[in-house]
Structure 1
């Protein structure tokens, strides 16, 4: 496991040729801070180079898959000049790392997946979620543009009209709703989640490895083209929103445990 020895916020466990990867900030609902974000930017390259695995299961420690971005980290990006620049670079690396990883990546949504957490889950190849889990991309709820991949993947999975309904409101949906509209593959009882994911992972491990890998890469050609055409612009918009009064208000309101009051900027003013 030497390839993964220096990770601080991600755990790794082998089950035969299955590599189980766990986001490990349970006390923060696996929200990304600077350390976890940087590790996510390189982990899928390291996974691709791992000679001892053929299938990956990605999950979260504790009761959440990932609660998106850590609010304290967001304040740091506001306070630091050009603080979003590194985050934007890493965001692209996360998305393209998932797209370009030849090994099938199965998302095991053990709990809620929000914001970047939802993006990471949705860029996985097959998504299983516990029935109690919810998923959504509430970037706009904190005055942020959904620029780190949500604008790419949501319309491809559920169409533009539905995607815009959820991305423009930040509304969450249940695992059952997500499965019914095709956003995820399966919503299953929580006590069956591990067994269902293990059985699917074992099915892939028993298959023709190269055919499976190259089929994934063939399917992802169009997705990669879309990400290439969209990510720079969407991240540039997100970087701009990082400097807005509405985003600062949302971050401050979260810290003060109150609802944000938006409306600091209007079109044409």
Structure 2
């Protein structure tokens, strides 16, 4: 694996388990241009790694706070650069779905926007019970096009998915467990012990059977992703050009509520 390529992601091996850490803790692991490009390559590179099980987590207090606000402004100022972002978004989702090795999300803190998408496309999601999860693309005037429109309805049904995607509301990890959005939520140090226990169970299991079971389950998700992703990403590209998106970015920087006009 080309670990030298990665500046915003850290790696730690323990036997057959590779812990992959989003490593921008000073900004809650918000995704900027560099991290997004690294995520687009990450899961393809992990296929060539000797690890049997991947644990994906975040450094510091959050799993991933979503898109970096300065990077959003770059996408507004240079729409052509946002087209590259759209291509990478597909690589991230299909990379997660194509990787045969099981991926456990250790959701150590909030998973927001793209962070939520990445967490939910993992195979098992184990969260700290103080963590929250949500996809507030609409809160910044963007379409939830980078995978949220695919995965949320499959996990919690269309009515609930539309409620959360159209409002951008966050939910607690415990509510997410009760709703079937994620698998488990644990207090304090139990997050580490339970994640490790589950990772070791998979690492010591029948590897081919586990991997190919994942492949089989993901067939339907991959079909949905192929059917939906191009359209949802195109709508997100269009919303990147909207007045409402610029207003949301301005409001975030000015620490005020956005005043949306629907344009």
**Counterpart residue number, 1:139:** 137
Per-residue deviation, 1:263: 1.6
1:101 aligns with 2:99: yes
**Counterpart residue number, 1:25:** 24
Alpha carbons of structure 1 residues 56 and 255: separation in structure 2 relative to 1, 3 Å: same
**Counterpart residue number, 1:39:** 38
Per-residue deviation, 1:171: 0.3
**Counterpart residue number, 1:5:** 4
Hey, what's the Cα distance between the residues in 2 that align with 1:256 and 1:167?
25
CA contact (8 A) 1:67 1:117 kept: yes
**Counterpart residue number, 1:166:** 164
**Counterpart residue number, 1:238:** 236
- Point out where structure 1 has 5 or more consecutive residues left out of the alignment: none
Per-residue deviation, 1:75: 0.1
Per-residue deviation, 1:190: 2.4
**Counterpart residue number, 2:60:** 62
- Point out where structure 2 has 5 or more consecutive residues left out of the alignment: none
Once the two structures are superposed, residues 21-64 of structure 1 have per-residue CA deviations (whole angstroms, 9 ceiling, x without a partner) of: 000000110010000000000000010111x2000000000000
Given the two structures, how large is their TM-score scaled by the length of structure 1? 0.97
Aligned pairs (5 A) from 1:185-224:
185-224=183-222
**Counterpart residue number, 1:178:** 176
Hey, what's the Cα distance between the residues in 1 that align with 2:195 and 2:4?
25
Per-residue deviation, 1:6: 1.9
Given the two structures, how large is their TM-score scaled by the length of structure 2? 0.99
**Counterpart residue number, 2:258:** 260
Per-residue deviation, 1:264: 4.1
Hey, what's the Cα distance between the residues in 2 that align with 1:226 and 1:130?
29
Hey, what's the Cα distance between the residues in 2 that align with 1:58 and 1:81?
31
CA contact (8 A) 1:110 1:190 kept: no
Q: Calculate the aligned-residue CA RMSD, in Å.
A: 0.7
Aligned pairs (5 A) from 1:116-135:
116-135=114-133
CA contact (8 A) 2:79 2:241 kept: no
Per-residue deviation, 1:84: 1.1
SS of aligned partner of 2:130: coil
